[in-house]
Amino acid sequence: MLSSASSRGWPIWSERVAGLLRKGGFLLRNTHVNLFPGNLAVVAGATNAGKTALLLNVVYLNHQQFSMPIYYFCSEMGDVELKERLEQFEGMSIEEWNFRAIDRSTDFADVIVPDCFNIVDYLELTEDLWAINTHLTNIARKLGRGLAIVALQKKEGVKWGRGQEFSAEKSKLYLSMDKNKLTIAKGKSWANKQVNPNGLRVEFNILKGCQFEMTQEWTRVND
């Protein structure tokens, strides 16, 4: 399964290209943060908060929009489980998915494909958590004009993922995800120069394992 991404100066999360969810849900483009070639984004999520559901929606909404391939590096799902997750998306057969799924759990920088859309689900650290920035920097250096979205684990209710603030140093967009909540912890390039995206939060439910339904609009929080 191979895919697509525009090599022009996308704002990936802007209105022109995809986002998180369909009708009745919320879009990642509404994060008000632009990403450009060579950028890295982080999604730090608590256990069972919906990281994989979010990342698969990114693939779902982008795999026919981009001119460059999407590579999805998965550390905790085999072929059977991934197929089951993809079949939850209504109106989409397995044959229509257009991306490359690869089983990988370590040394992601060694397999990042330059000038492509790379998704890492997820980068697992059990020791030397302070070294997270080194791992992310090594990934970013391989991107060329591509893009990477890297998922990390975090504790419920805590802002940052494993490695704390070190995990945010390299990212242009950092999303903090708890059950039913998604917060922009860091957004470098404001899509709307009049609206600071940092600290905005949206609340949601996940239906049928993959459909995000917004329950509260983006609002500013002070954690």
What is the distance between the alpha carbons of residues 200 and 191, in angstroms, rounded to a whole number?
13
What is the distance between the alpha carbons of residues 61 and 59, in angstroms, rounded to a whole number?
6
User: Tell me, what's the pLDDT at 102?
Assistant: 93
Predicted TM-score of the model (pTM): 0.86
Token pair, residue 200, equals 């905005």
| Whether 57 contacts 212, CB under 8 Å | yes
| Whether 150 contacts 75, CB under 8 Å | no
Handedness of CA 52, 55, 61, 64 (dihedral sign): negative
Q: What is the 3 state secondary structure string of 92-118?
A: CCHHHCCCEEEECCCCHHHCCCCCCEE
User: Tell me, what's the pLDDT at 142?
Assistant: 96
User: Tell me, what's the pLDDT at 31?
Assistant: 54
CA angle 194, 199, 205 (to 5 degrees): 115
**What 3-state class would DSSP assign to 5?**
coil
**What 3-state class would DSSP assign to 165?**
helix
Q: Calculate the alpha carbon distances from 61 to 57, 163, 193 in Å.
A: 6, 30, 26
Residues whose CB is less than 8 angstroms from the CB of residue 189 and which lie 6 or more positions away in sequence, other chains included: 11, 33, 34, 35, 36, 172
Cis omega (within 30 of 0) for bond into 71: no
User: Tell me, what's the pLDDT at 128?
Assistant: 80
- Bridge partners (DSSP) of residue 213 are 205
User: Tell me, what's the pLDDT at 50?
Assistant: 93
Residue 187 host element (H or E)? strand 181-187
Backbone φ and ψ of 201, nearest 5°: -135, 145
User: Tell me, what's the pLDDT at 15?
Assistant: 32
User: Tell me, what's the pLDDT at 9?
Assistant: 33
User: Tell me, what's the pLDDT at 16?
Assistant: 31
For the chain, 223 residues long, give each residue's pLDDT as a single digit of tens.
333 333 233 333 333 333 343 333 344 545 578 888 899 999 999 999 999 999 998 888 877 766 778 999 998 888 899 999 999 998 889 999 989 999 998 899 999 999 999 999 989 877 787 789 999 999 999 999 999 999 999 999 999 988 899 899 999 999 999 999 999 999 998 888 898 999 999 899 999 888 888 898 889 987 6
